[in-house]
Amino acid sequence: MIGLLIGGVLGLVLSAAGTPLFIRFLVKRGYGQFVRDDGPTTHKTKRGTPTMGGAVIIGSMVLAYLITHGLLAVFGVDFGGPTASGLILLLLTVGMAFVGFVDDFTKITKQRSLGLTPRGKIILQALIGTAFAVLALNFPDGRGLTPASTAISFARDVPWLDLAFAGPAIGVILFVIWSNLITTATTNAVNLTDGLDGLATGATAMITGAYVLMSLFQASQSCALEGTRGCYEVRDPMDLALLAAILTGSLLGFLWWNTSPAKIFMGDTGSLGLGGALAGFAIFTRTEILVAVLAGLMVAITLSVIIQVGWFKVSGGKRVFLMAPLQHHFELKGWAEVTVVVRFWLLSLMCVTVGLAIFYGDWLIRQGGLAGVTP
């Protein structure tokens, strides 16, 4: 537990202290946000606000992870050192953040809303996602557990949904596809949510906070310790909890500067990096479907875009919402930006609470804690 506290505080301090330095660096070079002309009129004041702030969030996450493990080793705290799960998750996060950085930098230097071409972005994300998936199925621990498994998971692996049903080779191929689908979904969801000051930052912090709790619980109920029906077959749950705590702290430190009126935006550097992190947590903690509940707000925002675009095409130009993503619809209805953000945060908190309840309920059922219900 002391490791989680150290990591969380380090992430918070590094992010909160590093963000204003990064803001000054960006302002000095004129690296500001490009704002689309067809958006809410109130957003025109955001033009020129420094962006790419996700570099601070992800940078703080990596530094805090390495420093925390170094401090724990120096003071003789038995935490196990960096793990395969932790390092591979960082690889996915940094890789996706790099794609976002290239996209942001292109937008800034060319002063346009389009950075990388859709095809270029998809290819880069697929390459990183595929490398992640292949690595995640390797590096077994002493019990033979790898960071990921080929089984599709809800609150844990579902044995009858094992993608290796036709053999290991087919299982790897299907897992690579499945993993890329999850990564694409989470990166796009965070990206679409990042449209108002502090919205995506706060909502993501709630989800990563939930992963701290779930990973801690998985560590306490590991099959290596308990061996009971409700135990968890997860590799390196304590290190995943540490990374989740660090990322939560980094997000909160950044939120100090990102809340309305924002002094900096996370940009695609942040949204793609954070989406990658959420995908990694979901896959490694065996909560691949449950993450859709935890990130219910982001799912709703993503669906609003799909519905808007789909209906626009089939209806010959009609719209369901005044504007998509969903947060801008409420802005155009007259809600103040801060009102939208706070209310959406509350919705996100509700989704996270429901997700945690489902996660714990699954464990209770397997323990026989809910009378009359069979697992």
Q: What are the residue ranges spanned by the domains of the chain?
A: 2-295
Dihedrals phi, psi of 270, to nearest 5 degrees? -80, -50
Residue 258, annotated as binding a ligand: no
Using 50 as the pLDDT threshold, list the residues of the chain that sit under it: 371-372, 374-375
Task: At 107, list the tokens.
Answer: 């937008």
pLDDT tens-digit profile of 91-104? 999 999 999 999 99
Dihedrals phi, psi of 102, to nearest 5 degrees? -60, -40
- pLDDT at position 48, please? 76
Q: Which residues are CB-neighbours of 26 under 8 A, at least 6 positions away?
A: 32, 50, 51, 52, 264
- pLDDT at position 241, please? 98
- pLDDT at position 109, please? 81
Find where tokens 């930006």 sit.
Answer: 337
- pLDDT at position 34, please? 65
- How far apart, in whole angstroms, are the C-alpha atoms of residue 362 and residue 368? 10
Nearest Cα to Cα of residue 267 among 118, 103, 143:
103
Find where tokens 């701290």 sit.
Answer: 212
- How far apart, in whole angstroms, are the C-alpha atoms of residue 125 and residue 189? 14
Residue 50: strand pairing partners: 32
Dihedrals phi, psi of 260, to nearest 5 degrees? -65, 135
Q: How many of the other CB atoms lie within 10 Å of CB of 358?
A: 15
> What 3-state class would DSSP assign to 222?
strand
For residue 159, give the H/E element and its range: strand 157-162
Q: pTM score, two decimals? A: 0.93
Residue 162, annotated as binding a ligand: no
- How far apart, in whole angstroms, are the C-alpha atoms of residue 133 and residue 217? 25
- Whether 278 and 333 have beta carbons less than 8 Å apart is answered as no
- pLDDT at position 3, please? 92
- pLDDT at position 374, please? 47
